[in-house]
Amino acid sequence: MDKYLLIESRDPFDSQVVARQYELAVNLVKEGNQVTLFLVQNGVLSARRGGQSELLTRAAGAGVQVLADDFSLRERGITPNRLAQGVKAASLSVVIDQLAEGRKAIWH
Amino acid sequence: MKVLNIVEAAYRGTLEEQDDTIVWICHAMKGANADIDVLLRGNAVNYAVKAQDASGLSFGGARQTQPPQLAADLVKLKAKGVKIFLVEDALRERGIEAGELIEGVDLVARAELAKLFGKYEQVWHW
Amino acid sequence: MATTLTFALMDAPYENARSTTALRLIDLAVKRGFNVNVFAYEGAVYLPFAKQAQHANAVHGRTLEEENHPLPRAWIAALMKEAAAHDAKLDWVNCGLCVDERGAAEAIEGVRRGSPADFWNFAQNSRNTLVIGTK
- Which of A30, A104, A107 lies closest to B117 in CB terms? A104
Superfamily of domain A3-107, CATH level 4: DsrEFH-like (3.40.1260.10)
Residue B125: list chain A partners with CB under 8 A: 106-108
Span A27-85, pLDDT tens digits: 999 999 999 999 999 999 999 999 899 999 999 999 999 999 999 999 999 999 999 99
Give residue C109's pLDDT. Answer: 98
Measured in angstroms, the CA of B110 and the nearest CA of chain A are apart by 8
First to last CA, chain A: 22
Convert chain A into a string of H (helix), E (strand) and C (coil).
CCEEEEEECCCCCCCCHHHHHHHHHHHHHHCCCEEEEEECHHHHHHHECCCCHHHHHHHHHCCCEEEEEHHHHHHCCCCHHHECCCEEEECCHHHHHHHHHCCEEEEC
Give residue B24's pLDDT. Answer: 98
**Does the pLDDT at position C39 exceed 90?**
yes
What distance in Å separates the CA atoms of residue A77 and residue B97, rounded to the nearest whole number?
46
Domain boundaries, chain B: 2-125
**Does the pLDDT at position C1 exceed 90?**
no
C25 touches chain A (CB under 8 A): yes
CATH 3.30.70.1450 for the B2-125 domain, yes or no: no
Measured in angstroms, the CA of B117 and the nearest CA of chain A are apart by 9
This prediction's pTM: 0.97
Eight-class DSSP state of B3: E
The sign of the dihedral angle between the CA atoms of C79, C81, C82, C88 is positive
Domain boundaries, chain A: 3-107
Percent over 70 (pLDDT), chain C: 100
**Does the pLDDT at position B74 exceed 90?**
yes
What distance in Å separates the CA atoms of residue C53 and residue A20, rounded to the nearest whole number?
41
What domains are defined for chain C? 4-132 (3.40.1260.10)
Q: Assess: ipTM above 0.90.
A: yes
What distance in Å separates the CA atoms of residue C16 and residue C11, rounded to the nearest whole number?
8
Amino acid at A93: S
What distance in Å separates the CA atoms of residue A3 and residue A25, rounded to the nearest whole number?
11
| Residue numbers of B between 23 and 42 with CB closer than 8 Å to C | 25, 28-29, 31-32, 34
